[in-house]
Chains A and B, each alone.
Chain A
Amino acid sequence: MIIPVMALAGSLGRKKLVATSAGTFPVSGTLFVILLIGTILLVGALTFLPALTLTPILEHFLMLNGKLF
């Protein structure tokens, strides 16, 4: 799993630098932080929810009804 990510980093490292201007998106602002956290949560949730509904979430509902798996 780490190999594709390293490949991605390598490819990005080779790209040329573009000067900052009025059109640049700042990577040190609150918007960026929110965007980053939001994206991680969203994509993570979408990936794992199917499996999660079948186990922990389901178990939670069963527990509320006094049943076990």
Chain B
Amino acid sequence: MAAKTHSIFDPAIIVPAIGDSFKKLNPITLAKNPVMFVTEVGAAITTVLLVTGHGANFGFQFQIALWLWFTVLFANFAEAMAEGRGKAQARALRATRTQTFANRLTGKGTVEKVPADQLRKGDVVVVSAGELIPGDGEVIEGAATVDESAITGESAPVIRESGGDRSAVTGGTKVLSDEIKVQITSNPGETFLDRMINLVEGASRQKTPNEIALTILLSALTLIFLIAMMSLKAFGIASSVDFTVPVLVALLVCLIPTTIGGLLSAIGIAGIDRLVQKNVLAMSGRAVEAAGDVDVLLLDKTGTITMGNRQATDFLPAPGVTKQQLADAAQLASLADETPEGRSVVVLAKNFGIRARELSEMANATFVPFSAQTRMSGVDMDGVKYRKGSSDAIRGFVGGKMPEPVETDVKSISGSGGTPLVVASNNKVLGTIQLKDIVKGGLSDRFERFRAMGIRTVMITGDNPLTAAAIAKESGVDDFLAEAKPEHKLALIRKEQLAGHLVAMTGDGTNDAPALAQADVGVAMNTGTQAAKEAGNMVDLDSNPTKLIEVVEIGKQLLITRGALTTFSIANDVAKYFAILPAMLVGTFKEIAPLNIMFLKSPGSAILSAVIFNAVIIIALIPLALHGVKFRPLGAAKILARNLLIYGLGGIILPFVGIKLIDMLITTIGLA
């Protein structure tokens, strides 16, 4: 089934997370997070001083040390929770990979039954109706209907066939009818799902550029506060005020941005998590961040904007040619064409009484397959060259000129949004085949949302400009590129990137692979070829080209959440100063008491309250870190103003209330 949202309070996730928090105390792993590392060192120092009996105030020192350890543990807990949820999502997806058996074809032509995880790249298996496909692969022979609900949650069966752009099958899906031969394309453990699971499981997780930048900022702040601390000690000596080490450590830990330091990794993991909930597998954290800044989206027409299986609907013969003759030639030229368009031409020709010829009957014919370069296909038989292809390809083939009625037919078909394919034999144009494209539903609304976010949509197609214009208008894209060969896509992406735009691309065919690799965010459809999925940096399990909207929103949300919590963390420091500084000085200088604006009970309780607040705020903000700040599709300035108000101003005011409440609580309980 598709991944479902896990509630935050799921005990199955919380309990192991608690255990993990202790495991993460290991200083070597914690060193990756400078802020929490400093906190851990501080906690260790305080504990050592406590144990060696320095200082008289045992109860106070004990509580400080305790809460410092809690601060580190809470931060670890946040990260463990995020990882736990990610693992649970991944486990749900992975469970679809049940222990299946595969019918592997041996070299000798027999079939042997092997467990699915013994399959290796390059093995060919036969999957029949009712069986589960044992692993990710490509259909090399045959066609079948497949139930992919295990992966996508979509229960309507889809067709997977050899040739064309829908040859990729995923392990764990079920064949409903017919039989296919599948060539396995990945070794167990290397499928896209496994790669994404590794990403979430944190063992091999690398810091994304944004995380690195933020960590540098936090480290710089930590360093500054550390120096401020040490200079305070020096000032204290000069003014003959005794600042004890536990108190200084408490002040330091309260000042350094522990809130964001502890929650930073949790936010990043939660971002990838949320993508999985939308059925998108991200291959890298970088891609998610890049997605937030994308402003141009390139879409393939066939299969992405349109249904992808254009059907031949009519034959329009040239003057002097009968429909029969045209149908005959069209069928000959399409027999070796494995694309759905070619197949539909063969099917349509049957309506005109021409029975389907078998390939084996045509021993004296040479087939010319379709290529994206020539944009024609056909057959050379008995000295006659039959060709079918786009109007300008055929125009070139017959020597530069086509009869007027044929040109009119081509124009009228294109103008109505269909695709005309012209058929010719040697130098004679026989007529036009009308193919109709079906635009997928609901697209113009989605493109409107892209526009609202400031993203420009561009449709790319190999069709002629008239057809492309009609489809572009119907689907609502901002711009289109017609008669595009694969290298045009790449050139367009490079041009946009040079102009400073961040380009996202969705695609599914092998010819999309270079463009997918060049784009800043490359989303491959799950139904696409293996090459496309390898080249891109995200895989959309729903094969929905407009899924990028959700990806962009999650990318932006990720960065906004980090910013909001950083602001909150630093704004908190104001109140903590007002709590701790008077407490530190009032022992020697009673006059500073008016600075104690929260009227905290005693110096000890003031410092303790601040430390407790510092620890507890991490736990309190875990839900926010995991869910992300709510994203509203407004302009950047508006979002910033809004969030500054909530998290900046709120961050200044909230700790005053919080610390006062904690202070009242611990004095009534009598802990300080």
Contact = CB atoms under 8 A, between A and B. Distances in A.
Nearest to B292: A23
B595 to A, nearest CB: 7
Given A46-B577, A51-B228, A61 B644 contact: no
Interface in A32-69: 35, 38, 42-43, 45-51, 53-55, 57-58, 61-62, 64-65, 67, 69
Interface string B614-655: 000000000000000000000111001100100010000000
B672 interface: no
Interface string A13-43: 0001111011111100101000100100011
Contacts of B499: 19
B313 interface: no
B254 to A, nearest CB: 11
Interface in B492-516: 499-502
A61 B589 contact: yes
A33 B229 CA distance: 30
Interface residues of B, number: 41
A36 B328 CA distance: 75
A29 B635 CA distance: 14
B508 to A, nearest CB: 27
Contacts of B574: 42, 45-46
Nearest to A48: B228
B384 interface: no
B10 interface: no
Is chain B's interface secondary structure helix, strand, loop, or mixed overall? helix
B637 A53 contact: no
B453 interface: yes
Contacts of B636: 22-25
Contacts of B229: 50
B333 to A, nearest CB: 46
Say what secondary structure dominates the interface of chain A: helix
A44 B606 CA distance: 24
A22 B454 contact: yes
A23 B295 contact: yes
A50 B500 contact: no
A33 to B, nearest CB: 12
B640 A31 contact: yes
B111 interface: no
Contacts of A43: 221, 570
Interface in B295-312: 295
Contacts of A57: 592, 595
Interface string B563-589: 000000011011001000100010001
Nearest to A66: B591
B239 interface: yes
A22 B635 contact: yes
A47 B225 contact: yes
Given A23-B635, A42-B570, A42-B574, A50 B640 contact: no
B255 interface: yes
Contacts of A69: 239
B224 interface: yes
Contacts of B453: 22-23
A47 B235 CA distance: 14
A50 B589 contact: no
B251 interface: yes
Interface string B237-275: 001010000000001000100000000000000000000
B594 interface: yes
A63 B206 CA distance: 55
Interface string B202-238: 0000000000000000000100110011011001100
21 contacts: A17-B500, A19-B500, A19-B501, A23-B295, A23-B453, A23-B556, A25-B636, A35-B640, A42-B571, A43-B570, A47-B224, A50-B577, A54-B235, A54-B236, A54-B241, A57-B595, A58-B585, A58-B591, A58-B592, A61-B592, A62-B591
- Please provide the 7 A-B residue pairs with the shortest distance between their CB atoms, ordered closest to farther: A22-B454, A19-B500, A61-B591, A21-B454, A50-B232, A25-B636, A21-B295
Given A22-B635, A23-B293, A53-B592, 5 more contacts: A51-B231, A51-B232, A54-B232, A54-B239, A57-B595
